[in-house]
């Protein structure tokens, strides 16, 4: 149940960013958006698996944060690359560095959200 709630919260976070812009008629943009959404979902599912790993349940917030930062490297990179591609396709006049910064912030936000969920749902210290 916790994993489902975390997944829902994470999906909602960047869904607004990806769907709030006007939907372009261009097939390339639609394809890039679909890939970015799939990359996001894959990364968040991987983070949810990390969240629910039994070996992580006794970790401090700091240690869990480190664990999450190193988890899911291929999913994280795929999400970053597909989001960067979508942003570049949707907003070609904006500097690529700005798009990369946005993609990096999206990855960081997903990591922060999973850590916050971990802290909120952890049993109290005895």
Q: What does the pLDDT profile of the chain (126 residues) look like in tens digits?
A: 555 444 444 455 555 445 544 444 468 889 999 999 999 999 999 999 988 888 888 889 999 999 999 999 999 999 999 999 999 999 999 999 999 999 999 999 999 999 999 988 765 554
Which residues, 6+ apart, have CB-to-CB distance to 64 below 8 Å?
Answer: 56, 115, 118, 119
| pLDDT value of residue 58 | 84
- Distance spanning both ends of the chain, measured CA to CA: 24
| pLDDT value of residue 21 | 44
- Residue 38 neighbours by CB distance under 10 Å: 13
- Residue 85 neighbours by CB distance under 10 Å: 19
| pLDDT value of residue 79 | 97
Prediction pTM value: 0.73
| pLDDT value of residue 4 | 46
Helix, strand, coil percentages (3-state) for the chain, rounded to 5, are 80, 0, 20
Spatial distance between the Cα atoms of 41 and 83, rounded to a whole number of angstroms: 12
| pLDDT value of residue 16 | 45
| pLDDT value of residue 116 | 93
């Amino acid at each position: 149940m916790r994993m489902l709630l975390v997944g829902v919260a994470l999906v909602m976070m960047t869904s607004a960013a990806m769907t709030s812009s006007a939907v372009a008629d261009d097939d390339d943009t639609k394809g890039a958006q679909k890939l970015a959404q799939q990359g996001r979902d894959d990364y968040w599912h991987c983070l949810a698996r990390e969240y629910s790993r039994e070996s992580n349940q006794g970790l401090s917030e700091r240690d869990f944060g480190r664990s999450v930062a190193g988890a899911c490297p291929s999913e994280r990179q795929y999400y970053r690359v597909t989001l960067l591609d979508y942003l570049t396709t949707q907003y070609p006049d904006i500097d690529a560095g700005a798009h990369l910064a946005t993609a990096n912030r999206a990855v960081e936000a997903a990591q922060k959200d999973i850590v916050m969920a971990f802290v909120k749902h952890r049993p109290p210290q005895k």
